[in-house]
Each structure stands twice: as C-alpha cells, then as structure tokens.
A and B are shown apart, each in its own frame.
Chain A
Amino acid sequence: MRFYEYESKALFARHGLPLGKRALARTADDARRAAAEIGGPVVLKSQVLSGGRMKAGAVKFADDPAQAAAHFDAILPIVVNGQKSCGVLVEEKSPIAQEYYVGVTWDGRRKLPVVIFSDMGGIDIEEVAEKHPDHVSKTHVSTLLPFTPRVAKEAIAATGVTGNDLTRLTPIVAKLVEIFFQYDLTLAEINPLAKLADGRFIVLDGHVDLEGDAREKHKKLLDELGIKPEETRQARPPTDFEIRGAQVDASDHRGVAGNVVEFDGNLGLVIGAGGGSLTLFDAVRKHGGRPANYCEIGGNPSVKKACALTKLVLSKPGVEKIAVMMNVVSNTRVDIVARGVVKGCVESGRDPAKTIAIFRIPGSWEADGFKILEKYGVEFCDRSVSMYEAAGRAVAKMGK
C-alpha cells in the first residue's frame, strides 16, 4: 500500500530524517500561505500515487506566493499515469550539490531485505543499474541479527563514497532501514537524497509502501497519518461496485467472497479461488467473452455470502448472465456455493436456469450440489469438463 510523498515525509520526520520546510496545500490559498511562511523560492509537487510527475508537468517552481497559487491551479488537475492528485506539497527550494539514491526493499530470491545505494540519484534506479552498475550497490540485511549501522556504511562505501560524506550518509541510510523493519514496509525509498552546497544532506523526495497484510498491525500510524481503512491505494481508485464487493466480504467472517474488480462486460463472474480465478478469467477472454467483473470465492464461504456476491454481480447494469466456476474444490463446498448462487438469482427476481450460464465446480460435496442445480434446471458440469471448456460454454450462451 503506497503512501503519498507527504505521508512518507511525515513518517520520515518522526524518525528524525533531515527534511526541508514544507506544507500540504489543498487549495490555491493554502499554497499561497505556505509559500509565504516558508519564504523564498519554493517547489510545488502534485501528490499522486505514481512516479513520472516531472514528465507530466505536475512539478513546478515558484519565486513568490502569488506564483505558487497560480501553479497550484495549473498542476492540481493533471492526471499522472491514471492517478488523480490529492493536493500539492509546497516545499522550500534547496541548493543542490549532488544527488544520491537509497532504497530498501525485499529480494524475493534471497528472501532478505536489500539496501540499494547509488551516488547517481534523481533518475530511475533501474536505468542506473543497467548503464552504470559500478555506481549501484546491493547489500543484504539479516532479519534475525539486530540491525546495526555497519550494513549502511558498507552499502554506501561500496560505491566509492568516503570522507565526511560517508559518515554523514551512514546514519540516514541506517535510519531508513530501521523504518523499513519497524513498519513492515515493502519499499522505503529516498530519491533523491541530496547533498546541499553547505555539505548537509536532505531528503528531497521519497516514498514508502506498507505491506497490505500489515495494515491492521500499524493501524495507529495509519490513523495518525489520516489514511482511511477503505483506501485501497491500488493502481486506480475503487469503484462503487468494488466498494460494495468489499462490504459483502466483510459482512461475514466465514470464507472469502472478495477482491471484486469491475470490468465493462456483460458476463458476470462468480469464480474462485486465487489461482482458479486467474485461470478462468483468461479462459473467458480467450473465448471472446466480456467479463463484467473479476472476483475470488474460497475458504468455504457461507450461503449468505455467496448469495450476497451473486446479488451484487447481478445488480450491475448490463449483466445478462453469470458463470459460476472454480477449480476442483476440497475445502469450499459445492453444495454450499450452489445454494448461495441459486438463492442469489431468486432473490434478484431472476430464474436461475436462465441466469446461470454454467456451473462448473467439482469436488467436495458435489453430489448434493448437483442435485440442487438439477432441481432448479441449472446447467452444470463435473470434473470431466475442463475449466477452459466450461468458460467456452458460458461465452457461447451470451450471443454476440
């Protein structure tokens, strides 16, 4: 879960990382006031959950408060890589001597955190790693040993940095690693970390990603930063349909009927589980079908939950039919899902036989499940019909 730059900096500030004077502006007036308070030239940066702000024109420099207000109005409406702005950070402009990069993230292969450091900051680190590998160091950190600053020192020194720069940079990099561990981050990045004309170092830009599964653990921090539980912080903001999907999942602790993602097709999908849903969504598209949604059921959801998800999908305008499909199940029960989807159709005022294009969930308690479907005239198939074939049958029923 990505933090905005201003939230990341608020977190950095709590831990004493060096930062410039700054304030978040939600209106042009805010921007004017912030620039006046800071005094002197400022930089205005649109707050979006994406990189590439500079290229998009969402970063501007202002010499006085009036210009700051004008720039605010110019950059706030700019959408960067599909992400809208939530405000503009007004920050003092600093005289820069050199830019560095420091990031802490997970190395999935070594299964350890890795500190990435470069004395060529300010640009895309992957590009630097490709073109100037000798200017980038990668240093792994143990998760069992207590963390001490020598790892930070080694990471910096590996790029040839020495003297006062090394001793001044070490505590900054060490602090970033500590923050990474303390808040279960998946990324903590400062880019650029700037050396000023007077030799001091300052965090110019940076951002952090918090692990989704650690949100509950760090609820206090999120509350204090004003990040609400319903903010998904994905590549695009959630739609109403997706928010209602999350409510269905939260309404009952038994099983999962979640991760609902909206698409603009006419075939509703009640599919599962994690891997099965990916496989089935591909299969529907391969057959030329147009899914109305993605979702994942699993972990043996209650009848009530399967019913509520079915009703949600059927409530979406343009959804003509639903396909109910999963891989061979062992934990989730066929009969329970069958009850839920049939009930969902009936409670939506639809005939299950005409609404359910195909039911393909073989496995646990399938004999009872198939009896239910038979009684309501729903077309179903057992494990002798592949997931791909079942998806094809559903798509064939949709016509053109």
Chain B
Amino acid sequence: MSILIHKDTTVIIQGITGREAVNMTREGLSYGTKIVGGVTPGRAGRDVYGVPVHDCVRDITKRMRVDGSIVTVPAAFTRDAVFEAIENGIKLVVVVTERIPRGEVAQMVELAKLRGARIIGPNCLGILSPDEAKMGGLGGRAEDAKKAFRKGPIGVMSRSGGMTTEICNTLTAAGLGQSTAVSIGGDAIIGSTYAELMPLFEADPETKAIAIYSEPGGRMEAELAEWVKENRSRLPIVAFMAGRFMDEMPGMRFGHAGTIVEGKADTTADKIERMRAAGIAVAERIEEIPALLEAQMRKRGIH
C-alpha cells in the first residue's frame, strides 16, 4: 500500500502547457500516473502528450472523477488555481509553485480545511509512491525515478525536494524500499506538516518506519515530537537534521524560505533535543539512516 496516491489515482495538471509542466506530464505518464486532463485558460482543445487541455477544472470534473491536481502556475495565479481545484471537489492538491506570499498560502489552507481537502506544498516536488504513481517532479524522468525509488516499508517526508530523492536513493541502495515519499515543501507555512501526515502512514499497514529530512526554522519538528508522544506511534522514526552551522548565524536565511534561525526554538540543537526526547533517532549523515531504521525496527520487533 501507499498513502495519498496509488495506481488508480486520477490526476489533472493546472498550468499544463507551461515549460516545466510539459516535462512533468511526460515524466508522470511514463511512470504510469493516470493524468486525465490539464487546464490552461484559453488553450482548450490542445493536448500535451495526448492529455487533453481544458479552460476550466469544471470541464474535467463534470465528466469524471478527479482525485488530485498538480498546480504549477506562476505565483501570482496560484491561489486562484488552488481555489478552483478545491471548489470543484478535488481533495488532494499538490502546489509546486514557489515564492507565494504566506498570506495567500494561509487562505488556501483555510479553504482546504473547510472543504475537507488536503494541500501538499507549496514549494515542493510532490509525491511518489514507488511502482504506483507520482504527482509532481519528484524523481525526474521515469528511468531516473526507478533508480532512486523502490517499493518497500519506509515512509519518507522531507522539507527539501532534492533531499527526498537523495534519502530514498540511499534507502534503496541499502535494500529498504519506500511506501510513499512526500516532498512537503520548504516554506514557513505549508499545507501538510510531518505531524499532519503521520496518521496516514500510521494507518497504512505496509509502512513500518519513517525517515524525515529536517532543517532549522519553524516548529514542525517540535510538533512531530509532540504528536509521537501523544499518540504512542507504532512507527519508529529516524530524522536527518541539516543546517547545523546555522545555529551560529541567527538572522541569516539559507536554503528555503522557511529556513532561518530567529529564536532558540528555530535552532537544530533545540529540534534535535525535542525529537530525541520523543524517541526519534537523529542521524548526522544520510548514510546512517538505513542502519538506524533497522536498529529501531529490530528494537520494536518490527519485520
């Protein structure tokens, strides 16, 4: 099993005629994703690699079931596109676009909550369930994605798109496949945090353990630590913490928009302490993750 997406998930792409979106369409189709339509206003009647283009999301949803949408339109139009997806009943929206002011992100998230929809991103590479489907640019071309990702028991969540692939590649090389990998986005406010995705992995019988990539800035790691403690999670977690040098450089922004040390709670030292206190193992190098996962799984008698 996987979370969020699988073989039969039907997906549309909003902004499908854009340069990056065209790539994403080709990559997604060759990975086996059911991309059933695309939207670019004023371009109805065209097609992208055989996927029909429409003017409105409604033109597709009125004729068939659409499970998810990938939004890859310029930042100034993203809020409108996400509203359109949600108001037409789509329950999973992956927002690839970066540099959206957080006031607009908050509006998307608030509407999604009202309508029972879920947002992944913004500023993310999307979701990949090995051998099932992928939404977004994660993993790149199908032949590249197949090198780095393999089906298996590890759920992966990462604030960095590139590091999602790096971690999965390391897991795959060590013989640990993935149930689903989620690039959750690098902004200060995102649709789905680690703690908000944990219940999905928790409910997935195939997922046996979790690997995450984390960074300075924000309260997402503290929130995960609290969730693990409060819910007595069955899943062992290993976290890799990047950007340790930033603890010495408050007020400087490195990496993603959400990556800045403004107070003590933003530092890697504080996050590591909170996670360790909740029983989350913290790796110093990516290549330590597989052995730490296996040790944790052994300790809990998980096979």
Chain A partners chain B = yes
Q: Tell whether, in the assembled complex, residue B186 and residue A108 are in contact, meaning their CB atoms are under 8 Å apart.
A: no
Q: Tell whether, in the assembled complex, residue B160 and residue A112 are in contact, meaning their CB atoms are under 8 Å apart.
A: no
**Chain B residues within an 8 Å CB radius of A274:** 160-162, 186, 255-256, 259
Q: Tell whether, in the assembled complex, residue B103 and residue A387 are in contact, meaning their CB atoms are under 8 Å apart.
A: no
**Chain B residues within an 8 Å CB radius of A236:** 252
Q: A251 on the interface (CB 8 Å rule)?
A: no
Q: Tell whether, in the assembled complex, residue A144 and residue B165 are in contact, meaning their CB atoms are under 8 Å apart.
A: no
Q: Tell whether, in the assembled complex, residue A329 and residue B254 are in contact, meaning their CB atoms are under 8 Å apart.
A: no
Tell whether A275 pairs with B252 under 8 Å between CB atoms, given A213-B257, A386-B170, A388-B287: no
Q: Tell whether, in the assembled complex, residue A329 and residue B162 are in contact, meaning their CB atoms are under 8 Å apart.
A: yes
B101 is contacted by which of A213, A261, A283, A384 (Cβ under 8 Å)? A213
Q: List 7 A-B contacts (CB under 8 A).
A: A113-B103, A186-B188, A261-B252, A276-B160, A328-B148, A329-B162, A329-B165
Query: Looking at the complex, which of B42-50, B139-147, B201-209 is the stretch in contact with chain A?
Result: B139-147
From residue 340 to 377 of chain A, which have CB atoms closer than 8 A to chain B? 363-364
Q: In the assembled complex, how far is the CB of residue B260 from the closest CB belonging to chain A, in whole angstroms? A: 9
B254 is contacted by which of A278, A328, A331 (Cβ under 8 Å)? A278
Q: B173 on the interface (CB 8 Å rule)?
A: yes
Q: B295 on the interface (CB 8 Å rule)?
A: no
A275 is contacted by which of B101, B102, B163, B169 (Cβ under 8 Å)? B163
**Chain A residues within an 8 Å CB radius of B114:** 144
Q: How far is the CA of A283 from the CA of B173 in the complex (A)?
A: 21
Q: How far is the CA of A136 from the CA of B244 in the complex (A)?
A: 33
Q: Tell whether, in the assembled complex, residue B251 and residue A144 are in contact, meaning their CB atoms are under 8 Å apart.
A: no
Q: Tell whether, in the assembled complex, residue B246 and residue A278 are in contact, meaning their CB atoms are under 8 Å apart.
A: yes
A261 is contacted by which of B110, B160, B254, B263 (Cβ under 8 Å)? B254
Q: Determine which residue in B139, B165, B220, B244 has the highest number of CB atoms from chain A within 10 A of its CB, and name it.
A: B165
**Chain B residues within an 8 Å CB radius of A144:** 107, 110-111, 114
Q: B159 on the interface (CB 8 Å rule)?
A: yes
Q: In the assembled complex, how far is the CB of residue B163 from the closest CB belonging to chain A, in whole angstroms? A: 4
Query: Looking at the complex, which of B52-60, B61-69, B211-219, B274-282 is the stretch in contact with chain A?
Result: B211-219
**Chain A residues within an 8 Å CB radius of B166:** 276, 327-328, 387
Q: A111 on the interface (CB 8 Å rule)?
A: yes
Q: Tell whether, in the assembled complex, residue A388 and residue B255 are in contact, meaning their CB atoms are under 8 Å apart.
A: no
Q: Tell whether, in the assembled complex, residue B101 and residue A214 are in contact, meaning their CB atoms are under 8 Å apart.
A: yes
Q: How far is the CA of A286 from the CA of B283 in the complex (A)?
A: 14
Q: B242 on the interface (CB 8 Å rule)?
A: yes
Tell whether A277 pairs with B144 under 8 Å between CB atoms, given A143-B107, A217-B101, A330-B137: no
Q: A326 on the interface (CB 8 Å rule)?
A: yes
From residue 239 to 259 of chain B, which have CB atoms closer than 8 A to chain A? 240, 242-246, 249-259
Q: B189 on the interface (CB 8 Å rule)?
A: yes
**Which A residues are within 8 Å of any B CB, using their own CB?**
106, 108-109, 111-113, 126, 142-144, 181, 184, 186, 211-214, 217, 234-236, 259, 261, 272-279, 281-283, 285-286, 294, 296, 298, 326-331, 363-364, 383-384, 386-389
Interface residues on B, range: 35 or more
Q: Tell whether, in the assembled complex, residue A106 and residue B162 are in contact, meaning their CB atoms are under 8 Å apart.
A: no
Q: In the assembled complex, how far is the CB of residue B301 from the closest CB belonging to chain A, in whole angstroms? A: 29
Q: Tell whether, in the assembled complex, residue A106 and residue B102 are in contact, meaning their CB atoms are under 8 Å apart.
A: yes
Q: In the assembled complex, how far is the CB of residue B270 from the closest CB belonging to chain A, in whole angstroms? A: 14
Q: Tell whether, in the assembled complex, residue B242 and residue A275 are in contact, meaning their CB atoms are under 8 Å apart.
A: yes
| Least CB separation from A180: chain B residue | B103
Q: B234 on the interface (CB 8 Å rule)?
A: no
Q: Tell whether, in the assembled complex, residue A282 and residue B287 are in contact, meaning their CB atoms are under 8 Å apart.
A: no
Q: Tell whether, in the assembled complex, residue B287 and residue A273 are in contact, meaning their CB atoms are under 8 Å apart.
A: no
With A275-B242, A384-B173 already in contact, 13 other A-B pairs whose C-beta atoms are closer than 8 Å:
A111-B110, A214-B101, A274-B255, A276-B163, A276-B166, A277-B254, A277-B255, A328-B169, A330-B125, A331-B140, A363-B165, A386-B285, A386-B286
Q: Is the interface of A mostly helix, strand, loop or mixed?
A: mixed
Q: B300 on the interface (CB 8 Å rule)?
A: no
Q: How far is the CA of A46 from the CA of B144 in the complex (A)?
A: 56
B141 is contacted by which of A181, A277, A364 (Cβ under 8 Å)? A364
| Least CB separation from B261: chain A residue | A235
Q: Tell whether, in the assembled complex, residue A282 and residue B242 are in contact, meaning their CB atoms are under 8 Å apart.
A: yes
Q: Tell whether, in the assembled complex, residue A184 and residue B103 are in contact, meaning their CB atoms are under 8 Å apart.
A: yes
Q: Tell whether, in the assembled complex, residue A108 and residue B188 are in contact, meaning their CB atoms are under 8 Å apart.
A: yes
Q: Tell whether, in the assembled complex, residue A327 and residue B287 are in contact, meaning their CB atoms are under 8 Å apart.
A: no
Q: B99 on the interface (CB 8 Å rule)?
A: yes
Q: Tell whether, in the assembled complex, residue A276 and residue B162 are in contact, meaning their CB atoms are under 8 Å apart.
A: yes
Q: Tell whether, in the assembled complex, residue B140 and residue A143 are in contact, meaning their CB atoms are under 8 Å apart.
A: no
**Chain B residues within an 8 Å CB radius of A384:** 173
| Least CB separation from A276: chain B residue | B162
**Chain B residues within an 8 Å CB radius of A275:** 158-163, 186, 213, 215, 242, 255-256
Q: In the assembled complex, how far is the CB of residue A392 from the closest CB belonging to chain B, in whole angstroms? A: 10
Q: Tell whether, in the assembled complex, residue B100 and residue A213 are in contact, meaning their CB atoms are under 8 Å apart.
A: yes
**Chain B residues within an 8 Å CB radius of A283:** 285
Q: In the assembled complex, how far is the CB of residue A243 from the closest CB belonging to chain B, in whole angstroms? A: 16
Q: Tell whether, in the assembled complex, residue B189 and residue A106 are in contact, meaning their CB atoms are under 8 Å apart.
A: yes
B140 is contacted by which of A272, A298, A330 (Cβ under 8 Å)? A330
Tell whether A212 pairs with B110 under 8 Å between CB atoms, given A108-B218, A108-B219, A272-B162: no
| Least CB separation from B216: chain A residue | A278
From residue 164 to 215 of chain B, which have CB atoms closer than 8 A to chain A? 165-166, 169-170, 173, 186, 188-189, 193, 213, 215
Q: Determine which residue in A234, A279, A326 has the highest number of CB atoms from chain B within 10 A of its CB, and name it.
A: A279
Q: How far is the CA of A211 from the CA of B102 in the complex (A)?
A: 8
Q: B94 on the interface (CB 8 Å rule)?
A: no
A278 is contacted by which of B218, B258, B259, B284 (Cβ under 8 Å)? B259
From residue 75 to 118 of chain B, which have CB atoms closer than 8 A to chain A? 75, 99-103, 105-107, 109-111, 114
Q: Tell whether, in the assembled complex, residue B101 and residue A235 are in contact, meaning their CB atoms are under 8 Å apart.
A: no
Q: Tell whether, in the assembled complex, residue B251 and residue A234 are in contact, meaning their CB atoms are under 8 Å apart.
A: yes
| Least CB separation from A277: chain B residue | B255
Q: Tell whether, in the assembled complex, residue B173 and residue A109 are in contact, meaning their CB atoms are under 8 Å apart.
A: no
Q: Tell whether, in the assembled complex, residue B162 and residue A259 are in contact, meaning their CB atoms are under 8 Å apart.
A: no
Q: Tell whether, in the assembled complex, residue B242 and residue A330 are in contact, meaning their CB atoms are under 8 Å apart.
A: no
**Chain B residues within an 8 Å CB radius of A364:** 140-141, 144
